[in-house]
Amino acid sequence: MPVVKLSLSALLSESFGFFFANLRLFFHLVTIPWIASIAIRLVGGALNQESMTAVLVEKALDIVPTVMFMVAWQRLVLLGPNRIGRLPGLGWSPRETAYLVHLLKIGGITFVLIAAFVLTIGTMDYGMLTTGAPIDPDAAHRQALAAPLAVGFMVSVLLALRVSYGLAATAADVPFSPRLSWTYGRGNGWTIIGTLFLTFFINAVVTMMATLVTLGVMRGVLGAQEAAAVVTWTVALLVSYAGAAVAATVQAVIFRTLLGWREGAALPATT
């Protein structure tokens, strides 16, 4: 297998350039998954806004529309607009099932660890952070139990980022696995991790800024209360999907560059 050295700046430049060059297609593909995510968020908020279990269930359900969008977007990157297939959200096919299974292999342990961490530590009592506040033995015990989970979560995130680019192969109907992602990515591991981490970090920052600006405008300028939350969720979810599109583009570009992939060609031999 020929050695290919990835460049973080080149990956980001190509990925962001592709996204902004295809904004019209983004809005076309994201509409139904975006609406589905809004519906899931509204139902979750109406049922229980305090339970951490409810929040985790909501996040798990939101994977379904996200997978539909990611599959379509990565097919756009690798195969072009004529090979996307049905509009994401109009149906579920074996391709989405294979993608979801691959995603669970990559991030399943990470989700389990963060769920265990959240359920173990419980609700944070910010009063304990003040100077001179008495120490709650039960809270201290829970935090001690959660510390190894936090370490395991961080390690699993790094490993998940390292092999996540293989999802693009599954979107293009190429049989692939996390083990193959690890093998083909040798020599570029930290570049892959760094590029994807930076992409997700930028997405998180932009989503937070969009949330704060929207909420400020709705409440401070328009004086809305209940409607402010709905509009803020709507904007935040759209920005989050935009970030997911950029991350999916990065994964697809990494896959195509590392393997020199083109449709119909066999994968290079592993050594």
Instruction: Give the pLDDT confidence of 216-267 residue by residue, as tens digits.
Output: 887 776 676 667 778 888 999 999 999 999 999 999 999 999 998 988 888 8
Least confident of 112-121, 141-150, 198-207: 141-150
Between residues 209 and 54, the one the model is more confident about = 209
3 state SS of 36: helix
State the CB neighbour count (10 A cutoff) for residue 206: 16
**Tens of pLDDT, residues 59-75:** 888 899 999 999 999 99
Q: Mean pLDDT score of the chain, rounded to an integer?
A: 84
Contact 257, 192 (CB under 8 A): no
**Tens of pLDDT, residues 139-176:** 555 566 666 767 777 888 889 999 999 999 999 999 99
How far CA 15 is from CA of 10, 11, 28, 126, in Å, comes to 8, 6, 19, 40
Alpha-carbon span 127 to 125, nearest angstrom: 5
Contact 243, 200 (CB under 8 A): yes
How is 74-103 classified by DSSP, letter by letter?
Answer: HHHHHH-GGG--SPTTS---HHHHHHHHHH
Q: What ranges in the chain are assigned the alpha helix state H? A: 8-21, 23-47, 52-61, 63-79, 94-121, 137-163, 167-171, 178-184, 189-216, 226-259
Alpha-carbon span 229 to 14, nearest angstrom: 35
**Tens of pLDDT, residues 22-35:** 999 999 999 999 99
Task: Report percent pLDDT > 90 for the chain.
Answer: 54
Alpha-carbon span 180 to 184, nearest angstrom: 6
Q: Which helix (H) or strand (E) holds 139?
A: helix 137-163
Q: Rounded to 5 degrees, what angle do the CA atoms 171, 176, 177 make?
A: 115
Alpha-carbon span 247 to 91, nearest angstrom: 23
Place of tokens 């139904």: 32
